[in-house]
Amino acid sequence: MNFASDNWAGAHPAISQSLLTASAGFSEPYGASALDRKIERQFNELFEREVAVFFVSTGTAANSLALAAVNRPGGVSFCHREAHMLEDECGAPEFFTHGARLAPVDGYNGKIDPDNLKAEIERFPPNFVHAGQPMAISITQATEIGTLYQPEEIAAIADIAQRYQLPLHMDGARFANALTALQLTPAEMSWKLGVDIVSFGATKNGCWCAEALVFMNPAQAKDLPFIRKRAAQLMSKSRFIACQFEAYLDDGLWLELARHANAMAARLQNGIANSKHTRLAWHAEANEVFAVLDQAHADRLQQQGAVFYPWNPPRANPDLVADREVLVRLVTSFATQAEQVDAFTELLG
Amino acid sequence: MNFASDNWAGAHPAISQSLLTASAGFSEPYGASALDRKIERQFNELFEREVAVFFVSTGTAANSLALAAVNRPGGVSFCHREAHMLEDECGAPEFFTHGARLAPVDGYNGKIDPDNLKAEIERFPPNFVHAGQPMAISITQATEIGTLYQPEEIAAIADIAQRYQLPLHMDGARFANALTALQLTPAEMSWKLGVDIVSFGATKNGCWCAEALVFMNPAQAKDLPFIRKRAAQLMSKSRFIACQFEAYLDDGLWLELARHANAMAARLQNGIANSKHTRLAWHAEANEVFAVLDQAHADRLQQQGAVFYPWNPPRANPDLVADREVLVRLVTSFATQAEQVDAFTELLG
Amino acid sequence: MNFASDNWAGAHPAISQSLLTASAGFSEPYGASALDRKIERQFNELFEREVAVFFVSTGTAANSLALAAVNRPGGVSFCHREAHMLEDECGAPEFFTHGARLAPVDGYNGKIDPDNLKAEIERFPPNFVHAGQPMAISITQATEIGTLYQPEEIAAIADIAQRYQLPLHMDGARFANALTALQLTPAEMSWKLGVDIVSFGATKNGCWCAEALVFMNPAQAKDLPFIRKRAAQLMSKSRFIACQFEAYLDDGLWLELARHANAMAARLQNGIANSKHTRLAWHAEANEVFAVLDQAHADRLQQQGAVFYPWNPPRANPDLVADREVLVRLVTSFATQAEQVDAFTELLG
Amino acid sequence: MNFASDNWAGAHPAISQSLLTASAGFSEPYGASALDRKIERQFNELFEREVAVFFVSTGTAANSLALAAVNRPGGVSFCHREAHMLEDECGAPEFFTHGARLAPVDGYNGKIDPDNLKAEIERFPPNFVHAGQPMAISITQATEIGTLYQPEEIAAIADIAQRYQLPLHMDGARFANALTALQLTPAEMSWKLGVDIVSFGATKNGCWCAEALVFMNPAQAKDLPFIRKRAAQLMSKSRFIACQFEAYLDDGLWLELARHANAMAARLQNGIANSKHTRLAWHAEANEVFAVLDQAHADRLQQQGAVFYPWNPPRANPDLVADREVLVRLVTSFATQAEQVDAFTELLG
């Protein structure tokens, strides 16, 4: 009954097999191999336009390089107050951008509130050197707390981005989970709504190490080859990331894995909704379920073999968790089995 | 006939098999899994002492994090004028250290000259704020041009390091090649001679992505967990690096692969020594052979299917290459076959 | 009628005279002159303990170097959401610390709320690499909006700083204004309450360029000589900063100037309180008065020669300013004359 | 008999008087005052074109901001191996550029050798991510060792800069000394020869703190307002730098002061040439004289009241200084008196 995180799962057999197949022979290192090139072209098809794509080793690297690509002196990027890049990357975005700031924007359900966003951006008048300069907006899809930006919500933020001429980045560590939940295509969930840069994560969804940073406008990435190398993110045997994507994207495997994870989350959510001793913190829309229960109950569950983590209650919702209660996060993945879910909900009581 | 670089080779079958085996099941991410811990202990045995070990995704990351761990304001690290970290990492060491400087030290055969080293360090009087502060010495073993520091040469540099209280780092991208050539143990080639930090590379020697940064004195690495995370080098599914090391270190595989690569280089060197149209640039001691030949001859070889790169002549040896000649680098690896070597030397004429 | 800012004023004649006097003769540069040393000793007396003091060219430099001195990887410093260092220094603190973060803490009246502070710090569990590490707390005295931390309020924050072993920094760009308003000594307003580092500003209070960074614990500043030089803040002819402090501190001139500025602010506040068309935004406690009035009225005042700036309403007080109204800041200084104040309040109506 | 450095001198009376005059009244801070604007226009006249000019507090800041303005990822700037920015600024250029590298170029007499420069630049093929990217060339005029680039020597380097499309920076900490020695105008010694950016120093030549960073092409400085603020180099009461330049540039004062310093150096050089116990290290061309003498003799001179520093022998000239000898630097300034020079040469014997 492991719901700790989707990165506790291993790799899908098809991914592992692809790594085995790619092992033989000589090929150009540093992203120049035929396989690298082939997968790059496949990303063009996936996004229905010519994109610039960069393979990197972690989601943190993808997010941080996205901001580094659009960096400017005194730059400030706007993200949700509890965004992963703000709360869980140990300051990597600031490191990669030499200290450009992440400005927190409040909003319910893990999503940036457009009015708050506008108000925060307005604090940076053009050419006013004291405040700094707006530089980017970043949203997370699915969000850090398992909710989803609806297409019109993305469009509303993209509208603001466009008004202030700011690039819009999407942290897609769980891109596939969001995509399948919303039944959109990659193009529909990104540039057709105004998203400029996507951190296209595959590690959490069945790869062992495969993250792609995708620029809808390749010109925006013109310095990135140097920035990436300098950040130690240019893998010498990069074909081994390419081959993971090859299997991942083949015949819709990635969508199938995400659908499975989402279905397991829905099953889990259903179980919790029917539980007497646990309540849902909010409606889960992808592969993460958040629940509130007594700390003692949570402890018992863990003693009985359930694996999950407590979670900081959102600042926007300070009354969510009563004394003696705890907010917990339950994550499903391609590797979650229905039996595990059912066993867990049975334990919940 | 591929001698382009050891990173053109793929992965050894045992490594790939290990990746496949590690795919199943849930385990702690971010270096906390049982396998991660087991391999960490194995490094203790390997180095015959308790070391701190950090898995990272590239050799550039290992080298740069080594310096970041010992960083100080206005810090200056001393390395050979043509060291990999100075000439081939796009400024990654400076990026990871927020601008600490790499000071080039001249020396023949790709090795730091101890007298030059001392003279350069002496330019930094203690507490003299204008010059900056010495912070580390870094040597490459095997060197960037395929030569080796003999144990007494390492000891001579370690002696200087100790006198000025500077940590001594070894860039071991080709650690195994040097180790087997010198017939030393890891302990004998590192801390027993005074080396404090080792970038222990496995990627070039048959892994697909496995680099370990090893601190002989764990206290020196006390900030590194935060520095590594912040540098986006903490892999979530790090067990997949651990499992590569598991196969790599098992039953001496790594030494066997390195011996093979070295033997292929020796065979190649022998062939060149007997060639009428090509001469050795200097004596090869590990798995890289450098040769001087007519540019036209080199072009012909490439047209006939040989794959290799030209190389910048060392500044210390400006007369090495005559007009119309070219210096080329020929690298062997675990995947090089004797037939390829022989076919190449036959072509050489 | 100039209330734009205290940095619109020039230099007090005694300061200028001191610069003239210091012009002649040779003396050691880079802070090593007899006068530099003498003023350093004077700071010891001023703070009633042995401090480490560093002269720098701007308040931004003082604040940023304070954080740089206590920097750590993934470091996060806590300050008020509308602190000067967060909103008005174009990211200088992040630049000087290579990207350490400033975490905004909410609170009324421009002051950090201790409960919020505690809650924010608690989000950083020790050794949890994902979140980063708490590194410092910074308060501004007088605050950015002209209010004051009472001694017990400083003590409450110092208590939290101590519990989490965080250095407590005070941005004292208007240190003298706060000191005289509270009738405390420098020691009483700093280390006796638990403050570790003070940006001791003199520029706004009658110097032309004199800022001192003061460490109550000199050991905390051991790297600062290198950090300052590297940040281009080691002035060669630093005696010219020292001589400004000489005149500034002589015979209580600095306190006299601050008292005057505060008295002018009180007079202005009184005038506004009696105005029909303008209301105080909050109670002014030092040398800054904030008022709310109709935008049209504000425009008229400016046309009639009054000089002042609009100000962003505090996020904690969103209903402060109605439609068509504007919040304005009115700053007094050593150079403000009572006649100017009276003329302005008369115009107010 | 003080020949320690030109920054041991104080300020010329005309400069101090100007500071006194500027003390009164209110004016816009942060470089926006009428006086700031006036002096900016004066720089246009001085350089006979529209330039962008930024006042900063130290020469180190000027040099470092010059490079920051033209920064690029993986950037490498080329300067003389013993340039001030490489050897005496504690890594400030690397700090301000987030780790862009300074590549040392060898050359005699403190001047970059054009052939060496070309060879070093050639090591950076376009788009080759491993090496990094050339980003700027910097020369020092007068050089760090008191020699001068002749106009044709500057032109030769500018020619290389143009070929590789690199901006050419001139560290003019002693700009006036070089200018008067060469009898050129500012335009003739800068953009007419191909120089793009000048660190225009005035502090060493009679100001107390006045450095201007001048861009011949204002577009190259478009980000600099933010970079400067972020680097804590935007002085609030910047009119006090402007007023120093006002007096400095008025009626040729600056040239007169530099001519005096140069004349004193020539007198000193003449004295040394006639000395039995001391020899010139090389021909002095501006206001610095370097001499070789017995260490014991040097010690005696210092005991007799002469103030000067020893100097590291140039690496290009290792045989300059014999055992028991020492190389010393003797600097003259606007404040040096002929009597001091004569007293010193008499002591020399």
Reported as a single tens digit per residue, the pLDDT across A191-232 is: 999 999 999 999 999 999 999 999 999 999 999 999 999 999
Q: Give residues with Cβ within 8 angstroms of D178, minimum separation 6.
A: D141, D142, D148, D149, D172, D189, D286
Q: Is the pLDDT of residue B303 over 90?
A: yes
Reported as a single tens digit per residue, the pLDDT across A265-305 is: 999 999 999 999 999 999 999 999 999 999 999 999 999 99
Same domain membership, residue A17 and residue A127:
yes
pTM of the predicted model as reported, rounded to 2 decimal places: 0.97
Contact A230 B95 (CB under 8 A): yes
Banded pLDDT at C266 (limits 50, 70, 90): very high
- Contact between B317 and B108 under an 8 Å Cβ cutoff? The reply is yes
Reported as a single tens digit per residue, the pLDDT across A96-151 is: 999 999 999 999 999 999 999 999 999 999 999 999 999 999 999 999 999 999 99
Q: What is the pLDDT of residue A121?
A: 98
Q: What is the pLDDT of residue B261?
A: 98
Contact D230 A73 (CB under 8 A): yes
Banded pLDDT at D349 (limits 50, 70, 90): confident
Q: What is the pLDDT of residue C318?
A: 85
Q: What is the pLDDT of residue D59?
A: 98
Same domain membership, residue A277 and residue A175:
no
CA–CA dist A85, A79 (Å, integer): 8
CA–CA dist A264, A6 (Å, integer): 12
Residues of C in contact with A91 (CB under 8 A): 74-76, 99-101, 132
Residue D74 region by backbone torsions, left for phi larger than 0, else alpha for psi between -120 and 50, else beta: left
Using CB atoms, pick whichever of D2, D7, D229 lies closest to residue C90: D229
Same domain membership, residue C239 and residue C304:
no
Assign 3-class secondary structure to chain B.
CECCCCCCCCCCHHHHHHHHHCCCCCCCCCCCCHHHHHHHHHHHHHHCCCCEEEEECCHHHHHHHHHHHCCCCCEEEEEECCCHHHHCCCCHHHHHCCCCEEEEECCHHHCCCHHHHHHHHHCCCCCCCCCCEEEEEEEECCCCCCCCCCHHHHHHHHHHHHHCCCCEEEEECCHHHHHHHHCCCHHHHCHHHCCCEEEEECHHHCCCCCEEEEECCHHHHCCHHHHHHHCCCCCCCCHHHHHHHHHHHHHHHHHHHHHHHHHHHHHHHHHHHCCCCEEECCCCCCCEEEEEEEHHHHHHHHHCCCECEECCCCCCCCCCCCCCEEEEEEECCCCCCHHHHHHHHHHHC
- Contact between B269 and B284 under an 8 Å Cβ cutoff? The reply is yes
Q: What is the pLDDT of residue A74?
A: 97
Q: What is the pLDDT of residue C185?
A: 98
Q: What average pLDDT does this structure show over C29-50?
A: 97
Q: Is residue D7 part of a domain?
A: no
Contact B133 C226 (CB under 8 A): yes
Q: Is the pLDDT of residue D318 over 90?
A: no
Q: Residue A168 — φ and ψ, nearest 5°?
A: -110, 120
Cite the beta strand spans of C228-308 per DSSP E.
278-280, 288-294
Same domain membership, residue C284 and residue C225:
no
Residue of chain B whose alpha carbon sits nearest to that of D122: B312
Same domain membership, residue B291 and residue B179:
no
Residue of chain C whose alpha carbon sits nearest to that of B98: C98
Residues of C in contact with D235 (CB under 8 A): 57-58, 209
The whole-chain average pLDDT of chain A stands at 97
Contact C132 A95 (CB under 8 A): no
Q: Is the pLDDT of residue B280 over 90?
A: yes
Beta bridge partners of B171: B140, B199
Q: Give residues with Cβ within 8 angstroms of A238, minimum separation 6.
A: A29, A30, A31, A33, A36, A55
Q: What average pLDDT does this structure show over C318-347?
A: 96
Reported as a single tens digit per residue, the pLDDT across D26-84 is: 999 999 999 999 999 999 999 999 999 999 999 999 999 999 999 999 999 999 999 99
- Contact between C144 and C171 under an 8 Å Cβ cutoff? The reply is no
Residues of B in contact with A86 (CB under 8 A): none
Q: Give residues with Cβ within 8 angstroms of A322, minimum separation 6.
A: none
Q: Is residue B6 part of a domain?
A: no
Using CB atoms, pick whichever of A16, A28, A204 lies closest to residue B23: A16
Residues of B in contact with A16 (CB under 8 A): 19-20, 23
Q: What is the pLDDT of residue C285?
A: 98
Banded pLDDT at B231 (limits 50, 70, 90): very high
Banded pLDDT at A318 (limits 50, 70, 90): confident
**Which CATH number fits the domain that encloses residue A332?**
3.90.1150.10
The count of CB pairs under 8 A between chains B and D is: 64
Same domain membership, residue C78 and residue C51:
yes
Q: What average pLDDT does this structure show over C317-325?
A: 93
Cite the beta strand spans of A178-300 per DSSP E.
197-201, 211-215, 278-280, 288-294
Residues of B in contact with D100 (CB under 8 A): 91, 94, 99
Structural domain harbouring D333: 253-348
Residue A30 region by backbone torsions, left for phi larger than 0, else alpha for psi between -120 and 50, else beta: left
CA–CA dist A57, A54 (Å, integer): 10
Range list of H helices, D59-174: 59-69, 84-87, 92-96, 114-122, 151-163
Which of A229, A233, A234, A235 should one mutate to test binding to chain D, selecting the residue with the greatest count of D CBs within 10 A?
Answer: A229
Comparing CA positions, the residue from A159, A160, A156, A184 lying closest to residue A172 is A184
Q: What is the pLDDT of residue A53?
A: 98
Contact D88 B131 (CB under 8 A): yes
The count of CB pairs under 8 A between chains A and B is: 163
Q: Is residue D50 part of a domain?
A: yes
Residue of chain A whose alpha carbon sits nearest to that of D128: A226
Same domain membership, residue C55 and residue C173:
yes
Cis peptide before A142 (omega within 30 of 0): yes
Same domain membership, residue B214 and residue B65:
yes
Residues of D in contact with C29 (CB under 8 A): 5, 7-8
Q: Is the pLDDT of residue C349 over 90?
A: no
Of C219, C251, C283, which residue sits at a domain end? C251
Contact A226 D130 (CB under 8 A): no
Q: Give residues with Cβ within 8 angstroms of D256, minimum separation 6.
A: none
Comparing CA positions, the residue from A92, A76, C203 lying closest to residue B95 is A92
Which of A90, A118, A129, A327 should one mutate to test binding to chain C, selecting the residue with the greatest count of C CBs within 10 A?
Answer: A90
Same domain membership, residue D212 and residue D270:
no
Contact C95 A90 (CB under 8 A): no
Same domain membership, residue D264 and residue D153:
no
- Contact between B22 and B14 under an 8 Å Cβ cutoff? The reply is no
Comparing CA positions, the residue from C181, C170, C240, C175 lying closest to residue C201 is C175
Residues of C in contact with D22 (CB under 8 A): 10-11
Of B232, B252, B272, which residue sits at a domain end? B252
Q: What is the pLDDT of residue B230?
A: 98
Q: What is the pLDDT of residue C204?
A: 98
CA–CA dist C57, D8 (Å, integer): 19
Q: What average pLDDT does this structure show over A66-86?
A: 98
How much of chain B exceeds pLDDT 90, in percent?
A: 98
Q: Is residue D114 part of a domain?
A: yes
Residues of A in contact with C104 (CB under 8 A): 104
Banded pLDDT at B324 (limits 50, 70, 90): very high
Q: Is residue D5 part of a domain?
A: no
Q: What is the pLDDT of residue B349?
A: 85
**What would the DSSP string read from start to end of A128-194?**
-TTT-EEEEEEEESS-TTS----HHHHHHHHHHHHHTT--EEEEETTHHHHHHHHT--HHHHTGGGT
Residues of A in contact with C131 (CB under 8 A): 87-88, 90
Q: What average pLDDT does this structure show over C337-345?
A: 97
Contact B91 A230 (CB under 8 A): yes
Which of B2, B6, B7 should one mutate to test binding to chain A, selecting the residue with the greatest count of A CBs within 10 A?
Answer: B7
Q: Is residue B8 part of a domain?
A: no
Considering its fold, how many domains does chain D have in total? Answer: 2
Using CB atoms, pick whichever of B64, B89, B230 lies closest to residue A92: B230
How is residue B264 written in tokens? 């292929």
Contact A94 C100 (CB under 8 A): yes
Q: Is residue C1 part of a domain?
A: no
Which of B129, B135, B233 should one mutate to test binding to chain C, selecting the residue with the greatest count of C CBs within 10 A?
Answer: B129
Contact A91 C102 (CB under 8 A): no
Of C207, C222, C251, which residue sits at a domain end? C251
List the chains bordering chain D where 3 or more Cβ pairs fall under 8 Å. A, B, C
C45's enclosing H/E stretch is helix C34-47
Residues of D in contact with A235 (CB under 8 A): none
**Which CATH number fits the domain that encloses residue C47?**
3.40.640.10
Residue of chain D whose alpha carbon sits nearest to that of B83: D131
Give the sign of the dihedral formed by CA C31, CA D146, CA D316, CA D85. positive
Q: Is the pLDDT of residue B325 over 90?
A: yes
Cα angle: C104, vertex C105, C107; to 5 degrees: 135
The whole-chain average pLDDT of chain C stands at 97
Which of B94, B105, B135 should one mutate to test binding to chain D, selecting the residue with the greatest count of D CBs within 10 A?
Answer: B94
Using CB atoms, pick whichever of A16, A17, A237 lies closest to residue B209: A237
Reported as a single tens digit per residue, the pLDDT across B117-149 is: 999 999 999 999 999 999 999 999 999 999 999
Reported as a single tens digit per residue, the pLDDT across D176-215 is: 999 999 999 999 999 999 999 999 999 999 999 999 999 9
- Contact between B108 and B82 under an 8 Å Cβ cutoff? The reply is no
Q: Is residue D159 part of a domain?
A: yes
Tell me how close the Cα of C60 comes to any Cα of chain A, in angstroms. Answer: 10
Reported as a single tens digit per residue, the pLDDT across B98-123 is: 999 999 999 999 999 999 999 999 99
Same domain membership, residue C267 and residue C196:
no
The whole-chain average pLDDT of chain B stands at 97
Reported as a single tens digit per residue, the pLDDT across D240-262 is: 999 999 999 999 999 999 999 99
Same domain membership, residue B273 and residue B215:
no
